[in-house]
Every structure is written in structure tokens, then in C-alpha cells.
Chains A and B, each alone.
Chain A
Amino acid sequence: MTLRVVDLACARGPAQILAGVTFAVAPGEALILRGANGSGKTTLLRTLAGLTPPLAGEIITAPDAIAYAAHADGLKSQLSVGENLAFWAGVFGTKDTSAAIDAFHLGPLLDRRAGEMSAGQKRRLSLARLLVTGRPIWCLDEPTVSLDAENVARFAAAVTAHLGMGGSAIIATHIDLGLPMAQTLDITQFVAKRIRADDPFAEAMG
């Protein structure tokens, strides 16, 4: 499942942030988004995920192919690991969660409350959630924030495994993940900050 983006323009609130964004991600490839804070990485990912309607351009991919994961990982602290995963499996319609549980060694943690886990364990659970969605294209926003070196390595291994199985990933991060097939895309080249084109209040009037 390749993801092709052609001449995409994204907006954050009243302002357009990016314009002319064009790239393609083939199965098995990873794309690292570089750019200063506020240069629109999150906005781009949210537009790819379909949360924010793009101002212009196209996102060409199979329907329901993109799984989005942001800082806020959508885990309920009162629910146990197993219940959280079962919930997301129910939402995404995947039958069993054992594959995701084994991939991130969550077996021993299954009935521990999500609220009682360390940041690293929580990150592993949110990655397991990604696996549960069963969607090939991962859009990850700063996935390795608040993770120590060991967990970052484990995260990189998980992404590599995902790429190995023909999935692809678009990751906004500042940390070098050492992924094999990773290209880097610096989105500062696409930054075109001005008022949204469909906002008629930009030019002077009486």
C-alpha cells in the first residue's frame, strides 16, 4: 500500500502552514519528518490521518490504511492493559490481540492498570495499540518523547519489524532511530505561512 501525497497544503486554524508538500512512501519504507517546532509536522500528520481537511492537493492511498498516533496515546488509566487493547481491537474490528501483546512482551503486564505503568511501558502499550489497528501505514507524532535509550531501541526494533512485514511509517521526530530504509524529509522547504487561501479577509477593503 503506497501512500502518495501530491502538492498538499495544510492549515492550522486560520493560517495556512504548509504548501506544495509532495512525497511518496512505498511499503517497507519509513519517512522521517524533520523541522523545527511549530513548522507543521503535527499539522501534516493530522491532515494525512484525515482529522484536518487539507486546503489543497491530494492524499492518494487505500481507504482506512492510515493509523495515527499522537503524544496523547488514548489509554485509560483505570483500565488494564488487556482491557485497553481489547477495546481498541473492538473499535478497529480486529479479532485477537495476542499478536500485539507478544510483539511488545506485554504478556506479564496484561492485568496491570494502565495508570500504574512507567512511561516506557505505556509507550509499548500504545505501540501495541497501533498493531491492533491492523493498518499498514503508521503516522507517528514524536513517538519517542520521554523514553530512555533502551526503550527507544525497542521502539526502533518494533518499527523495523513493521516495515519488514510490508508496512510503512511516517514519523515526526528529532531523535535518530537508526531505521534501515528511512528517508528524511525536511518540511521547512514546504513552509508557506500565510492566511488561508479561502479566507477572504486577507486583503484590504473599505
Chain B
Amino acid sequence: MIALLKRDLMLAIRAGGGFGLSLAFFLIFTTLVPFGVGPQTGVLATIAPGILWLGALLACLLSLDRIFQLDWEDGTLDLIATSPVPLEGLAAIKALAHWLTTGLPLVVAAPALGLLLNLPAAGYLWLIASLLLGTPALSAIGTFGAALTVGIKRGGLLLSLLVLPLYMPTLIFGALCVVRGAAGQEALTPLLLVAGITLGSLAILPFAAAAALRVNLR
């Protein structure tokens, strides 16, 4: 299993696609907002939490279909399925690899982009905390979606349609936590709820993803 993680990280670094793309998208998305919404810093400050969370969420979404697609095409998935590594383990490791290559960089980049949208000072701590706790859920749910649509040609659009409704609770609680944090209100409850959803997703979804993979490998 560790070999799987090491290989995925090596591939992400070597192929260079993994890190760069999602971060670039997050940056572009955040810089586009003022062009659309207007430069008034007051407006930007109030919508900053939501925009940052949406940017992170969409950045995760973009890199989901690559989780299994490459391994599906070059036969690695078939070979791993016949190896002692259980598919549940494969799904969990793929989610972890996706989080490390996509989720974590977003958490690191978010505060810097918060400056662009002049997020109130009190919000930064909560932004980092909620993203840190929320993005693993985005990866786990995304891995499940990727497993569902791996066998479908051009399944990327369908993948987004399936996964976005599942992202709803994490987005709601995550953005709410930052909004309340930025306004100085009590933001611990939404943060704990984000963590709850993440733990639930990490516990259940690898099994659902493995079941979907088994069906697609049939």
C-alpha cells in the first residue's frame, strides 16, 4: 500500500500536472472574482470565505477524473485488482494521494489568496482550519465519484454532476465556519461538523468506491 502512495506521489511530481494545475486554477478562479463582482473591497471581504471555499472545491473537482483514469487505461487497475492489495486500500490510498497532491497545496495557498479578496484578519485561522479538515472529504467523495465513472468514456462531466451534490454539506459548513470566524462569532461548531463529515466520508466511501471498482473491472 505504501508503494502505491509513493508511486502516485512520484508520478504527480514527475508528471507535474497534479500540483500545478489545481493551484493554478485556484489562483485564476480567485483573481477572476473581482472582475466579475467588482473591486469594492467591502463586497469582496464579505464573499471572500465563500469564494475561497468554492475555489478549493472546484480545484479538487478538476483533478478527480485523473485519479483512476490513467491506471484504468494502462491496465494497472486490473493488475492491482489481482494483487494482494485490497481495492478498498487502493481507494483509500488514491484519496490520500489526491489530497496530498491537490488538497494540501490548496490549504497552503488559500491564505495568500485571502489577501487578494481582503478576507478579514480573524478569518485566516478558521480558513486554514476548515480547509485542512474539509479537503480530505472532498478527496474521499471525489475518489468515490471517480470509481463510479472510471469505465465511462468522457465521464468527466458526469463525474461533476454526481459529485457536486455530495460536496454540498462540506461546502456549507466549511464556508459558514470561515464567515463566522471572520465576523468574530463562534465558529467552532461548523468546524466540528466539517470534521464530522470528513471522518464519516473517510470511513465509508473507500468501501463504496471499491464496490464500484469491482463492478467496473468485471
Contacts and interface: CB of A to CB of B under 8 A. Distances in A.
Direct contact of A and B (CB under 8 A): yes
Interface of A: 46, 49-53, 64, 66-76, 78-79, 83, 86-93, 129, 133
A192 to B, nearest CB: 19
Q: Identify whether the interface residues of B are mostly helix, strand, loop, or mixed.
A: helix
19 contacts: A50-B81, A50-B82, A52-B218, A68-B82, A69-B79, A72-B73, A72-B75, A73-B74, A74-B71, A74-B78, A74-B79, A76-B74, A78-B14, A79-B11, A83-B10, A87-B4, A88-B79, A91-B4, A91-B83
Q: Which of B10, B79, B218 has the most CB of A within 10 A?
A: B79
B65 to A, nearest CB: 18
A95 B176 CA distance: 50
A46 to B, nearest CB: 8
Interface of B: 2-4, 6-7, 10-11, 14-15, 71, 73-76, 78-85, 217-218
A46 B15 CA distance: 31
Contacts of A71: 75
A78 B11 contact: yes
Given A78-B14, A133-B83, A68 B78 contact: yes
Contacts, number: 71
A70 B84 CA distance: 18
A76 B4 CA distance: 12
Contacts of A79: 7, 10-11, 14
B75 to A, nearest CB: 3
Contacts of B14: 78-79
A68 B83 CA distance: 9
Q: Which of A50, A67, A74, A79 has the most CB of B within 10 A?
A: A74
Contacts of B4: 87, 90-91
Given A74-B75, A76-B11, A76-B74, A66 B82 contact: yes
A76 B7 CA distance: 10
Contacts of B82: 49-51, 66-68
A129 B82 CA distance: 13
Contacts of A133: 83
